[in-house]
Structure 1
Amino acid sequence: MKRYVCLILLFLLGAEGVFSQKRPMKLDDCKLWRSVDQIQLSENGKWVVYNYRALYRQDLDTTYIYNVQTGETICKAGLSNFSFMANGKLLKYEKKEEGDDSGRPSVYTLNLLTQQEKQWAKNIFLVPIKGTDMAYYVQYKPTGKADFTFVNLLTGEEQCIEDINTFGQVEAGRLLYSVADSLKSTLYLWEKGRKTQVGEVPGYIASIANPDAKGCGTLSCASTYDTRFDVTSIYTYDLNKCICSKLLSYQDITGLPEGTKVSSMSRLINSKTQLLIDLEPLAYPQVERETDQVNLELWIWDENISPRRSFKRSGFDASKYDKYVYDIATGECFTLPTKGLSSLAFPQGEDVKGCIAFDATPWYKESDWTMSPNDDVYYIGMNGEKKKLASHGKYGLSWSPDGTKVLLYDPALKAWRLIDMATGSDRDLTTGKLPYPVYEEEHDYSFDAAPYGVAHWNPDNHTVVIYDRYDLWSLDVKGEKAPVCLTQGKGRKELITFRKAEHPVSSRDKLYLEGFDEKSKTKGLYLLAGKNLRDMAVDSQSNLVVKANTDNGKVVLWTKEDYGERDFWVSDLTLRNPKRVTDSNPQVKDINWGTTRLYTWTNLEGKKNEGILFLPENYREGQSYPVIVLFYEKMSQELNSYRLPEYSSATIDIPWFVSNGYIIFCPDISYRIGAPYESCYNAVISGVEQLVKDGIADKERIGINGHSWGGSQTAWLVTRTNIFKCASPCSAVTDQVADYLMLRGTGQPNMYFEEDAQGRLGKTLWEDRELYLENSPVMHADKIHTPLLIFHGEKDTSVRIYQGMALYFAMRRLGRPAWLLNYRDVGHQMGGDAECRDFMQRLIGFFDYYLKDAPMPEWMKGDNNK
């Protein structure tokens, strides 16, 4: 009897352990997961509003209104297009009424303090006036006129201005608008309920520019309302003197090319003394296709642009003309020598001393085999001076706030050059002055490395702040002082990449930085105040990123993210004592989820290699697991990135496979030009072998999966090793020779991909045929003894379906197990939910069969086995 009691007790204890375990994900659990779709913090920091979106269902019918002070959440159903108004006192949204078949939702505002809801007329669109309790709406009439209404959102008081034609930017209780009749337009100022006539102009005022600090601005005018998009003159107005004066008339501008006119996009520059002219045609020609015309596309061997390239110009081509500037005082129109230059870069402000011009024309032809067209760069001064600054490269620009200077990144020098726009003089600001490169140090492509970039210009224009790999450097524009490392070398010393944070917004004396720690792979918030750099919020296990904040910085909305979650929190700027706002996926508490681990080993080149291990939540040290290798260039920086479970669109879904007992291994790959696949072998195979040595991977249960570039390498790896029990190359290039000569959907030949981009071969097919053959999996298919599940979409315009078929037919001819999933209506990766779900089911069946000894799925057996 005691024996039975003991057995019963053991059973109950065991049952308790079983029932307390979290369950693995099921296929359709993907439908349960959701992410925050829209989220906003009110200006006063008292409220947060958000909703969720799920991948496979509409989940936007509930809006959540979170009270920052109390932590309570109000739920509202059926809302859309929400936003805060009245400095955060109101929430505006749209809601469709029951029984209303008009299709147009009603507009509501909710007083967040009293919870009183107000319905507005359907035909109005409320526009908030920042920093006030006011908004406005405009009701347009068939006559071309409109009624403009100011409204106090809290009291409901309205002030209406009827029958206006044009209005400018709205400020608190202040509006500039015009009223037109058949002969003239009258400009009015409406301020605090009082109307003042500013002046009259002939014709129709098409647009009203904001007044400057002195109350002066400009009016763009057309002849009539019907021609309002064809500006013919510019007038000025003075709010203090209440006068409008003619500045210039486009008809007085002579010397323009035949068949062109001044475009409405032209703008005043240099204290409104000159007009920088954009040209447009007097009339666009009507092209009529001949009914008996042969549908022929002529390709000529030495034409500058190959026929299918998408960047061919169509319509009016301004690059065929010089740039024109009209001097208002003298009435003269002078030219800038820009004819033939493919693009022009002028500063955005009023102060224009010249432009930087780019010309890709000499290099268009080679863009068939380079990643993107190279440029020649020119300085063009307002005096007509034209000087070539650099040739045949990919350049970066950063303008000073006043437009008088510009930084040009020169890839040939690997340096930032300072161009004085008044004189055209330039000076190297970084070569020999900084101890570290200003370009991407780990760049492993054939084309030139890009710069790390410019953080900002200081408002005084005396200094500009640039990045190296880790730190921020202040450069003296005058060249009188040595560069200063603002972050005091902490970034390089501690392997933290500092970059200017989008939020909170930095000020003159406070620079907020986002720091990415290469050791922990996490993002945190830092503050640089004067010479003091300190941690504001850093977590070695999670990414902490500020998404919004109040102007005074007292309330901050931010995300905490790791593999397990990504939700929003509120706190002060220290991010301490936070309150959780969202709980996107509470169901994860009942599911065996997983963890991530940074895995480090020595690769076959004797170098340190990193990667991510995705481990089941119930992972036990010392126990070997089935492993799927999944990779794409470098992924370790995503160690703490949240991953939403979803049906497979290109590769296996990591969360699902981890939840179901697999370990996923994502190794980083550093490439050598001319040996991309060997580089992959060195990293991936060494990592897999180390996993086996460490007892993590069961050497008899290792699979591999990759998509696109990762798929190509997957297909190649199995020609070199039998370490994998099975492999699934997806949308993969398998024949480098054929791919090199194929045309992409963009019209660009794939030559660029193999020579200059991810292919990284660095040579033409005819310079090294063996290189292309050696890196073509189909040429070595006889060495493949690994069963393959090949996925391809027949409408793939990046990697043509032939590539997947070629590998399949090679395996078929050799009598080796291979399955091809050719989705007829799919492109480079899956689109529709049905296809994604089907693909995921087949991936699960394939890997479970080879790595978990599950029964072979019926679809793998074929007709001969049914």
Structure 2
Amino acid sequence: MGKVYKLVAESPYGNPGWNLDDKEIIIYDQYDLWAIKADGSSFRRLTHGRESKISYRIADLPNKNTANLIYDGLQSNTVDLEKELFLRAEAGDGKTGYFKWKSDSDVKPIVFGDRYTDEFSYNSKKRNFFYREQEFGLPPRLVSKEDSSEAKLFFQSNPQHYNYNWGTSELIEFQNSKRQDLKGVLFYPANYDPKKKYPMIVHVYELQSKELHRYINPTYYNEIGFSPTIFTSKGYFVFLPDIIHENGNPGISATDCVVAGTRRIIDLGLVNSNKIGLIGHSFGGYETAFIITQTELFATAVAGASVTDLNSFYFTVGWNTGRPDMWRFQSEQWKMVNTPFEDPLGYQRNSPITSADNVTTPLLLWTGKEDQQVDWHQSIEYYLALRRLGKKNTMLLYPKEGHSILNPTNQKDLMDRVQQWFGFYLKDELPTAWVSQGIE
């Protein structure tokens, strides 16, 4: 008997379940739903989103997992394709919403537009709909809609929002060196003046363009020391570029995408190219620590809870899971494909610490001393390497904190320090004592 593979949500696009009679399995591709006979004899396409670049997913499953645990094992969801379905829709230009689907007709929109729409529900007759919608400049609100009537607002959150200046968001398109089409979100400063050029902070972490229409409540009590609306309110542009990782080259490909996106913003003439900062946490912290070994584009950087040596991290244990961290590398986030024994040069090439001597960007590192997801000694290693090389960097260690900062006092402390760090390097503000002493 050959090897048995379980079809689970981590498959390329996933499968929401089976048809009611178990004769067809439902499969997602990038845009559409397909029903495929269990014996592979035939298939049918249920939606036509590819032509309009709209991704459809079933919205009204019993739960969001592809399988439920029961006493006898795993039980997949079942979907009656003879009945009306509700589909969630997301377009590449940031539009979101919900559609009706029937087997004998095309999809029909319930709500779809330039807002982020979620929390969709309906009454027993499926004729009254309720959902939440928001934009970067529109606080979340609850809306009701009858089948063919206009939507009605019945609750608006954050009424105080309209007493304050706010920025705007824009979807930016760019290409990396491999001519792959990418997107990013650019948040404008509050009270933006087109006659001025502003400093900019680039936040990195895989795919972020879906944040285009998310309302981000400004708060100092943040787990990672970063809030776009805090920085836009203080006169910064904030850019969130998408990153596509290449197998075997997570650091190299991240650098390619981030540099290309940042140069696209520079070409727009909005920002001061000498006052651009970089920030990331966790995998984004790794990307930040690596990118500054490859380019002098950024005036300063902040990296939180970072992996800095892929070889040593491969052989550590993630105590939050109790598993060796090597599982992350072959097929998960790191996409290294091979082991350090099979591709030693690849692990060295993509490790920030290997190229620490190239760093010219002043770096602020931070980590929790009880981080059980990324060994906090990874930050220690990089800090010591940079200090030994005479590079400008300092590090914040938070006792009794894990992978993210949870104590409110420490959250505000980190947010304050990140602002002070960027203020010194990007806005020429006077340095606080800890900044000037830390980089001596």
Q: TM-score, normalised by structure 2?
A: 0.88
Check whether the contact 1:794–1:801 (CA below 8 A) recurs between aligned residues: yes
Check whether the contact 2:98–2:112 (CA below 8 A) recurs between aligned residues: no
Distance apart, 1:503 and its partner CA:
8.3
- Paired with 1:674 and 1:467, the residues of 2 have a C-alpha distance of 27
- Paired with 1:846 and 1:756, the residues of 2 have a C-alpha distance of 36
When residues 697 and 756 of structure 1 are mapped into structure 2, their CA distance, relative to the original with a 3 A threshold, is same
* Letter aligned with residue 457 of structure 1: N
* Letter aligned with residue 369 of structure 2: E
SS in structure 2 opposite 1:753? helix
| 2:16 maps to 1:467 | no
Deviations 1:278-336 (A, max 9, x none): xxxxxxxxxxxxxxxxxxxxxxxxxxxxxxxxxxxxxxxxxxxxxxxxxxxxxxxxxxx
Deviations 1:92-134 (A, max 9, x none): xxxxxxxxxxxxxxxxxxxxxxxxxxxxxxxxxxxxxxxxxxx
Check whether the contact 1:622–1:695 (CA below 8 A) recurs between aligned residues: no
Check whether the contact 2:222–2:415 (CA below 8 A) recurs between aligned residues: yes
* Letter aligned with residue 469 of structure 1: Q
- Paired with 1:650 and 1:748, the residues of 2 have a C-alpha distance of 24
**TM alignment of 1:70-469, pairs within 5 A:** 388=1, 390-391=2-3, 393=5, 395-396=6-7, 449-458=11-20, 460-469=21-30
- Paired with 1:561 and 1:784, the residues of 2 have a C-alpha distance of 40
| 2:246 maps to 1:705 | no
Residue 380 (structure 2) aligns with:
805
Check whether the contact 1:503–1:548 (CA below 8 A) recurs between aligned residues: no
When residues 479 and 794 of structure 1 are mapped into structure 2, their CA distance, relative to the original with a 3 A threshold, is closer
- Paired with 2:104 and 2:432, the residues of 1 have a C-alpha distance of 65
Residue 494 (structure 1) aligns with:
52
Distance apart, 1:752 and its partner CA:
2.2
- Paired with 1:546 and 1:739, the residues of 2 have a C-alpha distance of 38
Q: 1:692 aligns with which of 242, 256, 266?
A: 266
Q: 1:535 aligns with which of 80, 83, 108?
A: 108
Check whether the contact 1:541–1:640 (CA below 8 A) recurs between aligned residues: yes
Distance apart, 1:464 and its partner CA:
4.7
| 2:415 maps to 1:840 | yes
| 2:232 maps to 1:658 | yes
- Paired with 2:171 and 2:144, the residues of 1 have a C-alpha distance of 29
- Paired with 1:461 and 1:711, the residues of 2 have a C-alpha distance of 45
Q: TM-score, normalised by structure 1?
A: 0.46
Deviations 1:421-457 (A, max 9, x none): xxxxxxxxxxxxxxxxxxx9xxxxxxx9445203541
Residue 483 (structure 1) aligns with:
43
Higher relative contact order (CA 8 A, sep 6+): 2
SS in structure 2 opposite 1:525? strand
Check whether the contact 1:537–1:544 (CA below 8 A) recurs between aligned residues: no
Residue 419 (structure 1) aligns with:
none
Deviations 1:77-101 (A, max 9, x none): xxxxxxxxxxxxxxxxxxxxxxxxx
- Higher percent of residues as helix: 2
- Paired with 1:392 and 1:506, the residues of 2 have a C-alpha distance of 27
When residues 789 and 572 of structure 1 are mapped into structure 2, their CA distance, relative to the original with a 3 A threshold, is same
| 2:218 maps to 1:645 | yes
SS in structure 1 opposite 2:155? coil
- Paired with 2:153 and 2:236, the residues of 1 have a C-alpha distance of 32
- Paired with 1:474 and 1:764, the residues of 2 have a C-alpha distance of 37
* Letter aligned with residue 265 of structure 2: L
* Letter aligned with residue 16 of structure 2: V
* Letter aligned with residue 399 of structure 2: R
Q: 2:435 aligns with which of 849, 860, 864?
A: 860
Distance apart, 1:842 and its partner CA:
0.3
Deviations 1:481-521 (A, max 9, x none): x422222xx20111111111228998843222111112x22
Identity of aligned residues (%): 29
| 2:376 maps to 1:816 | no
SS in structure 1 opposite 2:323? coil
Distance apart, 1:662 and its partner CA:
1.0
Check whether the contact 1:788–1:817 (CA below 8 A) recurs between aligned residues: yes
* Letter aligned with residue 261 of structure 2: G
User: For the pair shown, which has the larger CA radius of gyration, 1 or 2?
Assistant: 1
Residue 402 (structure 2) aligns with:
827
- Paired with 2:181 and 2:197, the residues of 1 have a C-alpha distance of 24
Residue 594 (structure 1) aligns with:
167
| Unmatched 5+ stretches in structure 1 | 1-387, 398-439, 441-447
Distance apart, 1:617 and its partner CA:
3.9
Residue 71 (structure 2) aligns with:
none
- Paired with 1:479 and 1:839, the residues of 2 have a C-alpha distance of 55
| Unmatched 5+ stretches in structure 2 | 63-78
Distance apart, 1:732 and its partner CA:
0.4
Q: 1:677 aligns with which of 246, 251, 254?
A: 251
Residue 609 (structure 1) aligns with:
182
When residues 454 and 548 of structure 1 are mapped into structure 2, their CA distance, relative to the original with a 3 A threshold, is closer
- Paired with 1:392 and 1:530, the residues of 2 have a C-alpha distance of 32
Distance apart, 1:476 and its partner CA:
4.6
When residues 510 and 816 of structure 1 are mapped into structure 2, their CA distance, relative to the original with a 3 A threshold, is same
Distance apart, 1:696 and its partner CA:
2.1
Residue 75 (structure 2) aligns with:
none
Distance apart, 1:620 and its partner CA:
3.9
Q: 1:786 aligns with which of 354, 361, 384?
A: 361
Across the two proteins, how many residue pairs are aligned to each other? Answer: 421
- Paired with 2:439 and 2:200, the residues of 1 have a C-alpha distance of 31
- Paired with 2:110 and 2:188, the residues of 1 have a C-alpha distance of 27
When residues 663 and 775 of structure 1 are mapped into structure 2, their CA distance, relative to the original with a 3 A threshold, is same
Residue 335 (structure 1) aligns with:
none
| 2:311 maps to 1:737 | yes
Check whether the contact 2:16–2:58 (CA below 8 A) recurs between aligned residues: no
- Paired with 2:22 and 2:11, the residues of 1 have a C-alpha distance of 27
SS in structure 2 opposite 1:641? coil
- Paired with 1:454 and 1:838, the residues of 2 have a C-alpha distance of 43
SS in structure 2 opposite 1:839? helix
When residues 770 and 476 of structure 1 are mapped into structure 2, their CA distance, relative to the original with a 3 A threshold, is closer
SS in structure 2 opposite 1:593? coil
Check whether the contact 1:623–1:695 (CA below 8 A) recurs between aligned residues: no
Residue 69 (structure 2) aligns with:
none
- Paired with 2:275 and 2:144, the residues of 1 have a C-alpha distance of 45
Distance apart, 1:608 and its partner CA:
1.8
* Letter aligned with residue 483 of structure 1: F
* Letter aligned with residue 742 of structure 1: T
Check whether the contact 2:82–2:102 (CA below 8 A) recurs between aligned residues: no
Distance apart, 1:666 and its partner CA:
0.9
Instruction: Name whichever of 598-607 and 837-846 sits farther off.
Output: 598-607
Q: 2:89 aligns with which of 496, 515, 522?
A: 515
